[in-house]
Chain A
Amino acid sequence: MYEFEFVKPTTLADAIAALGAEEAQALGGGQTLIPTMKQRLAAPAVLVSLTGIEEMKGVSIGDGIITIGGATPHAVVAEAVAGAYPALAALAGNIGDPAVRNRGTIGGSLANNDPSACYPAAALASGATVVTSNREIAADDYFQGMFTTALEDGEIVTAVRFPVPEVASYRKFEQPASRFALVGVFVAKYPEGVRVAVTGASEEGVFRWTEAEAALSVEFSPDALEGLNVSPEGMIGDLHGTAEYRAHLVKVMTKRAVAACIG
Chain B
Amino acid sequence: MPKDHGIGASPKRREDLRFLTGSGRYTDDINLRGQAYVHFLRSDMAHGKINGINTRMAEEMPGVIRIFTGADFEGIGGLPCGWQVTDKHGQPMQEPGHPVLAQGKVRHVGDPIAAVVAESREQARDAAEAIEVDIEELPAVIDMKAALEDGAALVHDDLTSNLCYDWGFVEENKAAVEEAFQKAAHVTTLELVNNRLIANPMEPRVAVGDYDRADDESTLYTTSQNPHVIRLLMGAFVLGIPEHKLRVVAPDVGGGFGTKIFHYAEEAFCTFAAKQINRPVKWTASRSEAFISDAHGRDHVTKIQLALDADNNFTALRTDTYANMGAYLSTFAPSVPTWLHGTLMAGNYKTPLVYVNVKAVFTNTVPVDAYRGAGRPEATFQLERVIDKAALELGVDPIALRRQNFITEFPYATPVAVEYDTGDYHATMDKLEEIADLKGFAARRAESETRGRLRGLGINCYIEACGIAPSNLVGQLGARAGLYESATVRVNATGGLVVMTGSHSHGQGHETSFPQVIAEMIGIDESMVEIVHGDTSKVPMGMGTYGSRSLAVGGSAMVRATEKIIKKAKKIAAHLMEASEADIELKDGQFSVAGTDKSVAWGDVTLAAYVPHNYPLDEIEPGLEETAFYDPANFTYPSGAYACEVEVDPATGKVTIERFSAADDFGNIINPMIVTGQVHGGIGQGIGQALLEGAVYDENGQLLSASYMDYAMPRASDVPFYTVDHSCQTPCTHNPLGVKGCGEAGAIGSPPAVVNAVVDALRSAGKDITHIDMPLSPARVWAAMNG
Contacts and interface: CB of A to CB of B under 8 A. Distances in A.
Contacts of A248: 782, 786
Interface residues of B, number: 25
B705 interface: yes
A102 interface: no
A39 interface: yes
A245 interface: yes
Nearest to A38: B286
A2 B129 CA distance: 12
Interface stretch (A13-21, A130-138, A236-244): A236-244
A201 to B, nearest CB: 13
A173 interface: yes
A73 to B, nearest CB: 21
Nearest to B125: A40
Given A239-B704, A241-B779, A177 B709 contact: yes
Interface in B767-787: 777-779, 782-783, 786
Interface residues of A, number: 18
B696 interface: yes
Nearest to A173: B652
Interface string A69-110: 000000000000000000000000000000000000000000
B652 A177 contact: no
Most interface-central of B288, B709, B779, B782 (chain A CB within 10 A): B779
Contacts of A39: 288
B712 A176 contact: yes
A1 interface: yes
Contact of B710 (A2, A40, A239, A245): A239
Given A39-B288, A252-B651, A245 B709 contact: no
B782 A177 contact: no
Q: Interface SS of chain A: helix, strand, loop or mixed? A: loop
A101 to B, nearest CB: 16
A177 B710 contact: yes
Contacts of A180: 709
Contacts of B712: 176-177
B779 A178 contact: no
A245 B782 contact: yes
Nearest to A3: B122
Contacts of B692: 176-177
Contacts of A68: none
A245 B783 contact: yes
A249 interface: yes
Nearest to B649: A252
Interface string B154-191: 00000000000000000000000000000000000000
Nearest to B694: A239
A176 B778 contact: yes
Contacts of B778: 173, 176, 182, 241
Interface in A34-59: 39-40
Interface in B709-733: 709-713
A142 B236 CA distance: 65
Given A245-B779, A245-B782, A245-B783, A178 B709 contact: yes
A177 B779 contact: no
A2 B786 CA distance: 48
Given A1-B122, A39-B288, A177-B712, A239 B705 contact: yes
A178 B710 contact: yes
A239 B713 CA distance: 15
Interface string A221-263: 0000000000000000001111001001100100000000000
A182 B783 CA distance: 15
B652 A239 contact: no
Nearest to B698: A239
A176 B778 CA distance: 8
B19 interface: no
A239 B708 contact: no
Contacts of B705: 177, 239
Interface of A: 1-2, 39-40, 173, 176-178, 180, 182, 239-242, 245, 248-249, 252
Interface of B: 122, 125-126, 129, 288, 651-652, 654, 691-692, 696, 704-705, 708-713, 777-779, 782-783, 786
Given A239-B710, A242-B779, A252-B652, 10 more contacts: A173-B654, A173-B778, A176-B778, A182-B778, A239-B705, A240-B777, A245-B779, A245-B783, A248-B782, A249-B652
27 contacts: A1-B122, A2-B126, A39-B288, A40-B129, A173-B654, A173-B778, A176-B691, A177-B692, A177-B708, A177-B711, A177-B712, A178-B710, A239-B705, A239-B710, A240-B710, A240-B777, A240-B779, A241-B777, A241-B778, A242-B779, A242-B783, A245-B782, A245-B783, A248-B786, A249-B652, A252-B651, A252-B652
